Amino acid sequence: MKEVHEKKIRQIISYKSDFVLDFASGYNVVFGFIRPPSNTDVILVAPRMIGEGILDLHKQRKGYPVLIGVKQDHSGELLEIARLMAEEGIFNQMVHHSTTSQYGTLTRMFKYYDLIRKIVEDEAKDIWNGNFTKE
Protein backbone atom coordinates (compact mmCIF):
# COMPACT_ATOMS: atom_id res chain seq x y z
CA MET A 1 0.00 0.00 0.00
CA LYS A 2 2.82 2.42 0.81
CA GLU A 3 4.35 1.95 -2.64
CA VAL A 4 1.01 2.56 -4.37
CA HIS A 5 0.44 5.67 -2.27
CA GLU A 6 3.91 7.07 -2.98
CA LYS A 7 3.92 6.32 -6.72
CA LYS A 8 0.29 7.01 -7.64
CA ILE A 9 -1.84 8.76 -5.05
CA ARG A 10 0.63 11.30 -3.64
CA GLN A 11 1.15 12.72 -7.15
CA ILE A 12 -2.58 13.27 -7.57
CA ILE A 13 -2.87 14.93 -4.16
CA SER A 14 0.06 17.27 -4.87
CA TYR A 15 -1.88 18.93 -7.70
CA LYS A 16 -4.90 19.70 -5.52
CA SER A 17 -5.49 22.35 -2.90
CA ASP A 18 -7.81 20.00 -0.97
CA PHE A 19 -8.20 16.24 -1.04
CA VAL A 20 -10.14 13.62 0.94
CA LEU A 21 -8.28 10.37 1.49
CA ASP A 22 -10.59 7.63 2.78
CA PHE A 23 -9.32 4.41 4.30
CA ALA A 24 -11.32 1.30 5.17
CA SER A 25 -8.54 0.26 7.56
CA GLY A 26 -6.37 2.51 9.67
CA TYR A 27 -3.37 0.18 9.67
CA ASN A 28 -1.17 2.07 7.17
CA VAL A 29 -1.80 5.48 8.71
CA VAL A 30 -1.57 4.42 12.36
CA PHE A 31 1.73 2.60 11.84
CA GLY A 32 3.19 5.42 9.73
CA PHE A 33 3.49 3.55 6.43
CA ILE A 34 1.44 6.29 4.78
CA ARG A 35 1.86 9.92 5.82
CA PRO A 36 -0.68 12.02 3.92
CA PRO A 37 0.34 15.61 3.09
CA SER A 38 -1.09 18.52 5.08
CA ASN A 39 -3.61 19.54 2.36
CA THR A 40 -5.42 16.24 2.85
CA ASP A 41 -8.44 15.29 4.92
CA VAL A 42 -7.79 11.77 6.21
CA ILE A 43 -10.75 9.67 7.29
CA LEU A 44 -11.67 6.12 8.05
CA VAL A 45 -15.03 4.73 6.93
CA ALA A 46 -14.58 1.09 7.81
CA PRO A 47 -17.30 -1.54 7.46
CA ARG A 48 -17.76 -3.53 10.66
CA MET A 49 -18.90 -6.70 8.92
CA ILE A 50 -17.46 -9.53 6.87
CA GLY A 51 -17.29 -8.68 3.15
CA GLU A 52 -19.93 -11.21 2.09
CA GLY A 53 -22.46 -9.69 4.49
CA ILE A 54 -21.71 -6.22 3.18
CA LEU A 55 -22.24 -7.35 -0.42
CA ASP A 56 -25.53 -9.04 0.47
CA LEU A 57 -26.86 -5.95 2.24
CA HIS A 58 -25.62 -3.69 -0.57
CA LYS A 59 -27.50 -5.79 -3.13
CA GLN A 60 -30.62 -5.37 -1.01
CA ARG A 61 -30.00 -1.60 -0.92
CA LYS A 62 -29.63 -1.77 2.86
CA GLY A 63 -27.02 -0.19 5.04
CA TYR A 64 -24.50 -1.79 7.36
CA PRO A 65 -22.54 -0.62 10.40
CA VAL A 66 -19.32 1.31 9.84
CA LEU A 67 -16.66 2.83 12.04
CA ILE A 68 -15.91 6.48 11.29
CA GLY A 69 -12.59 8.03 12.25
CA VAL A 70 -10.98 11.39 11.58
CA LYS A 71 -7.18 11.51 11.47
CA GLN A 72 -6.46 14.85 9.80
CA ASP A 73 -9.17 17.49 9.32
CA HIS A 74 -7.68 19.94 6.81
CA SER A 75 -11.04 21.29 5.60
CA GLY A 76 -12.71 21.56 9.00
CA GLU A 77 -15.65 19.64 7.53
CA LEU A 78 -14.28 16.13 7.59
CA LEU A 79 -16.56 14.61 10.20
CA GLU A 80 -19.57 15.69 8.16
CA ILE A 81 -17.98 14.36 4.95
CA ALA A 82 -17.28 11.01 6.64
CA ARG A 83 -20.82 10.84 8.01
CA LEU A 84 -22.28 11.47 4.57
CA MET A 85 -20.04 8.83 3.02
CA ALA A 86 -21.09 6.29 5.63
CA GLU A 87 -24.81 7.10 5.50
CA GLU A 88 -25.34 7.77 1.85
CA GLY A 89 -23.22 5.22 0.07
CA ILE A 90 -21.58 5.71 -3.31
CA PHE A 91 -24.62 6.68 -5.38
CA ASN A 92 -26.45 8.96 -2.98
CA GLN A 93 -23.32 10.95 -2.13
CA MET A 94 -22.75 11.78 -5.78
CA VAL A 95 -24.72 15.03 -5.40
CA HIS A 96 -21.80 16.32 -3.31
CA HIS A 97 -19.26 15.70 -6.12
CA SER A 98 -18.37 17.75 -9.17
CA THR A 99 -19.92 16.72 -12.47
CA THR A 100 -16.49 15.50 -13.61
CA SER A 101 -16.22 13.29 -10.53
CA GLN A 102 -19.76 12.01 -11.06
CA TYR A 103 -19.05 11.19 -14.69
CA GLY A 104 -15.79 9.42 -13.86
CA THR A 105 -17.33 7.36 -11.08
CA LEU A 106 -20.40 6.36 -13.05
CA THR A 107 -18.59 5.53 -16.28
CA ARG A 108 -15.65 3.70 -14.73
CA MET A 109 -17.31 1.90 -11.85
CA PHE A 110 -19.07 -0.72 -13.92
CA LYS A 111 -16.33 -0.85 -16.52
CA TYR A 112 -13.91 -2.21 -13.93
CA TYR A 113 -16.31 -3.86 -11.47
CA ASP A 114 -15.54 -7.48 -12.41
CA LEU A 115 -11.78 -6.85 -12.46
CA ILE A 116 -11.85 -5.13 -9.08
CA ARG A 117 -14.07 -7.84 -7.62
CA LYS A 118 -11.60 -10.51 -8.79
CA ILE A 119 -8.67 -8.61 -7.26
CA VAL A 120 -10.52 -8.18 -3.96
CA GLU A 121 -11.47 -11.86 -3.89
CA ASP A 122 -7.86 -12.90 -4.57
CA GLU A 123 -6.57 -10.58 -1.86
CA ALA A 124 -9.17 -11.91 0.58
CA LYS A 125 -7.97 -15.46 -0.12
CA ASP A 126 -4.42 -14.39 0.79
CA ILE A 127 -5.73 -13.01 4.07
CA TRP A 128 -7.83 -16.08 4.86
CA ASN A 129 -5.09 -18.61 4.04
CA GLY A 130 -2.46 -16.69 6.02
CA ASN A 131 -0.21 -15.61 3.13
CA PHE A 132 -0.82 -11.94 3.99
CA THR A 133 0.75 -12.37 7.42
CA LYS A 134 3.97 -13.65 5.81
CA GLU A 135 4.60 -10.54 3.70
Domain boundaries, the chain: 2-96, 97-135
Most confident among 28-42, 82-96, 99-113 (mean pLDDT): 28-42
Predicted local confidence at residue 89, as pLDDT: 64
Local confidence band at 94 (pLDDT 50, 70, 90 cut-offs):
low
Tens of pLDDT, residue by residue over 105-119, are: 777 777 777 887 788
Predicted local confidence at residue 50, as pLDDT: 75
**CATH superfamily of the domain spanning 2-96:** NAD(P)-binding Rossmann-like Domain (3.40.50.720)
Entry pTM = 0.56
DSSP letters spanning 19-79 = EEEEES--HHHHTTS----TTEEEEEEEE-S-HHHHHHHHHTT----EEEEEEE-SSS-HH
Residue 83 pLDDT exceeds 80? no
Q: How far apart are CA 36 and CA 101, in angstroms?
A: 21
